Amino acid sequence: MNIERQIDSFILYLATERGLSPSYQLSVRQTLDKLSEWMEQKKLSLDDVGTEDLAAFLAIRKKGGLAASSLRITVVHLKVFWRFISGRRYVEADVAEPLIAPKPIATLPDSVHESSITSLLEGIDTMKRLGKRDRSILELFYASGLRLSEVCGARLENLDAEEGFIRVTGKGNKTRIVPVGGQALSAVERYVKLERPELVKSRTSSQIFLSVRGGPLSPERVRAIVKERAKAAGIDSKMYPHLLRHSFATHLLQNGADLRVIQELLGHADISTTQIYTHVDQKHLKEVHQKFHPRG
């Protein structure tokens, strides 16, 4: 059986019936195209392929340098493809179902020292054009631990300046209310009062943070702002929005905040996602112990 025809049929299914994004479709196609090339080398058709063959294909991909995280995605792609072609009786059996994805490697999130955060924020000249906007963006990232999408989507009507809270919509379209620190709130208020009106155009909506054209800032532009401001402050480490979110959580934990509270602030559905920060804190404690204990 011709695999190319089945790949085309599957991608069409993902697009029309599942409504999955073009980027996901491309990712799946890249995996299946690699499989097709391998099968052609081995002179295998879809009817010939068994679980052992797919395992051999994965082994070749791993030997070729594919990371564990990418191998996991490859396994998922193979599973959904075989579920599709077996469900439609294009092949007799779902030979991908027994495949086991490699376990994810736990990586500790990076964070930035508090002094570097201070240098980053205070290094922005708010008297210069867009200084107030950029300062308030970075203040909000660090003060409230918001995601990039949440900062870009933040709206005026969802900011309660009197109570010091902002309502944001995060992953899974879930809404949560997050406190905004005093310094961040002051920065946002100064921007909204003194600089935002200059950016407003006839079609401007209620997003808090605006581009010079009066539209909402794109995630790409916000990433660039964070990087540019870090470089201007002389911070050598690679700076990006999620690093400020990690730093928010890490610094809260190091200063005694309860893990459940941090989970709520970050909007994590599962406490296990938040628990990775305990490993960061334990690493910090070990470093302190080694540095200051006589026999550390």
Catalytic residue numbers, as ranges? 147, 171, 242, 245, 268, 277
User: Cα-Cα-Cα-Cα dihedral of 149, 223, 268, 66, to 10°?
Assistant: 110
Residue written as token pair 């086991």 = 100
How far apart are the C-alpha atoms of 178 and 165, rounded to whole Å?
A: 6
**Residue 87: Cβ-neighbour burial (10 angstroms; 0-12, 13-18, 19+):** exposed
Strand partners, 118: none
Please, what's the b/e burial string for 139-164 (b: 16 or more CB within 10 A of its CB; e: otherwise)?
bbbbbbbbbbebbbbbbeebbeeeee
In 64-214, where does DSSP find H-type helix? 68-87, 114-122, 131-144, 148-152, 182-194, 196-199
User: Cα-Cα-Cα-Cα dihedral of 111, 113, 115, 119, to 10°?
Assistant: -30
